[in-house]
Amino acid sequence: MSETVVAEFSALAGRDPADRLPPEAAEKLQVLRDAREQAGTLVRAESTRVHEARQEWQRARSHVVELEKAYAAGSMMRTTRIREPRGDGLDDLELHPKERVLVEKISIDPDHQRLAVERSKVNRLKAALDRRQAELARQQEAMNTLGALLNACEEYLRRLPRRAVVELDDGGSTKAPKGDVAAAVEHARETLRSILEEIIDVVSAPRPSSEVKAALAQRIATMGRAPGVDSFMTGSGGIDLPTKRVQNLSAIMSDGSAGVCAGSIDDTAGLLFWLCRGQLTERLNDLVDEIVEDDCALSTEERAERLAGLKARALEVQRNEVALLEMASATGAAMLPRPDTDPRAYLGLSGDLPEPKA
């Protein structure tokens, strides 16, 4: 068993959630904080590089647009001399032919070598910008993931009761996988997803009809309100019908302000539940028999037992996942943890501690 820390915080000691942890867990939390800070630094640096790459690409693109406009406006003239018959019988002598000049306005070829070079430069800069943006998105994802996990761990520690005993898990160590560590991590996550689906099925499973009928009978008994006959028996009054207190916000017309008006009204529903208790119970039980399928129902005890087992399995799988991530990091193949990793699994804390709130 590792060192135990009994958390009895004073106002000073309770400022940092890490103060609640044993040294090994506190070190893991600090590593997570450092990783989150480093990720933020990388994001800021990459954001600057993306900004510079975008500006360089935009300048190159603007230059190409200017070149295209200049080439389109800067046309050149081509002169063509066309020989025509003289019409004087001397055409075959090729002497002093009659000529006319054809002047054509020709635009410069848009695929001119210089323009092609500039366009190629724009394409290269755009590809570089796309790579920078993809890298920035990857780093932002890492920063957000680490930040979410860090917040979850610190919030979990803050929510623990002040006198909670925070100790490390005394479970066995995880063996190194025979194959690829990344594949082992993905297998653990797939197993966890399967367990979480089972938990959803257990939580959403209906209660057995016997439990539902018992709960309905108790509810009907609670809602029923019997009339009073004390006044009638003494001859001083009639039957006292059940009443209920009501309170509404109404406008006080005399001065225009609003006030709370309260009063009592007859509790007709309560009288009905008391008077027709047997009939209501019978009809509601018939509805239960039509709706509830006892084959897939779980009693309160069965549900609690199955949930406890599934949650224990989920925690163990997450401990294994965290250990595999640490192995991957040691080999240089760092992988991101899940942002919703159980803080007890990530920090190596005992499963006897309360589970984190959803």
Confidence of residue 136 (pLDDT cuts 50, 70, 90): very high
Do residues 46 and 142 both lie within one domain?
A: yes
To the nearest whole number, what is the mean pLDDT of the chain? 83
pTM higher than the cut 0.85: no
Domain membership flag for residue 226: yes
Q: Taking 80 as the threshold, does the pLDDT of residue 323 lie above it? A: yes
Dist. CA 46–CA 54, nearest whole Å: 12
Residue 251 near residue 201 (C-beta atoms within 8 A): no
- Mean pLDDT is highest, among 31-40, 93-102, 115-124, 349-358, for 31-40
Domain membership flag for residue 323: yes
Q: Taking 60 as the threshold, does the pLDDT of residue 304 lie above it? A: yes
pLDDT tens digits, 63-98: 888 887 777 765 544 455 555 555 555 444 444 455
Domain membership flag for residue 128: yes
Which of 276, 295, 314 finishes a domain? 295
Q: Taking 90 as the threshold, does the pLDDT of residue 331 lie above it? A: no
The candidate with the shortest Cα–Cα distance to 177, out of 292, 327, 67, 332, is 327
Do residues 61 and 147 both lie within one domain?
A: yes
Instruction: Read off the pLDDT of each residue in 2-26 and give the average, rounded to a whole number.
Output: 66
Do residues 284 and 304 both lie within one domain?
A: no
Q: Which domain holds residue 320?
A: 169-205+298-358
Q: Taking 70 as the threshold, does the pLDDT of residue 249 lie above it? A: no
Contacts of 198 (CB under 8 A, 6+ apart): 310
Higher pLDDT, 54 or 8: 54
Dist. CA 226–CA 308, nearest whole Å: 43
Residue 119 near residue 64 (C-beta atoms within 8 A): yes
Dist. CA 357–CA 343, nearest whole Å: 11
CA torsion sign for 270, 274, 275, 276 is: positive
Contacts of 151 (CB under 8 A, 6+ apart): none
Do residues 146 and 7 both lie within one domain?
A: yes
pLDDT for 54:
97
Which of 160, 195, 225 finishes a domain? 160
Do residues 16 and 118 both lie within one domain?
A: yes
Q: Taking 80 as the threshold, does the pLDDT of residue 262 lie above it? A: no
Dist. CA 21–CA 105, nearest whole Å: 84
Which of 245, 276, 295 finishes a domain? 295
Contacts of 317 (CB under 8 A, 6+ apart): 188, 191, 192, 195
What backbone torsions phi and psi does residue 278 show, to the nearest 5 degrees? -65, -45
pLDDT for 215:
92
Domain membership flag for residue 86: no
Dist. CA 251–CA 258, nearest whole Å: 4
CA 171 distance to own-chain centroid: 31
Domain membership flag for residue 89: no
Show the DSSP H helices in the chain as ranges: 23-73, 113-159, 181-204, 209-223, 230-233, 268-275, 277-291, 300-330, 343-347
Do residues 143 and 277 both lie within one domain?
A: no
Do residues 26 and 146 both lie within one domain?
A: yes
Count of beta carbons in the 10 Å neighbourhood of residue 185: 22
Domain membership flag for residue 105: no
The candidate with the shortest Cα–Cα distance to 230, out of 222, 220, 241, is 241
Dist. CA 25–CA 16, nearest whole Å: 14
Partners of 98 in the β-ladder: 84
Domain membership flag for residue 241: yes
Domain membership flag for residue 81: no
Residue 237 near residue 227 (C-beta atoms within 8 A): no
Do residues 65 and 15 both lie within one domain?
A: yes
Do residues 140 and 270 both lie within one domain?
A: no
Contacts of 84 (CB under 8 A, 6+ apart): 97, 98, 99, 100
Do residues 249 and 139 both lie within one domain?
A: no
Q: Taking 50 as the threshold, does the pLDDT of residue 2 lie above it? A: no
Total domain count, the chain: 3
Do residues 9 and 56 both lie within one domain?
A: yes
pLDDT tens digits, 198-229: 999 999 999 999 999 999 999 988 888 888 77
Classify burial at 179, counting beta carbons within 10 Å of its beta carbon; exposed 0-12, middle 13-18, buried 19 or more: exposed
Do residues 51 and 126 both lie within one domain?
A: yes
What is the number of alpha carbons within 13 Å of residue 84 lying toward its C-beta? 9
Helix 277-291 / helix 268-275 crossing angle, nearest 10 deg:
80
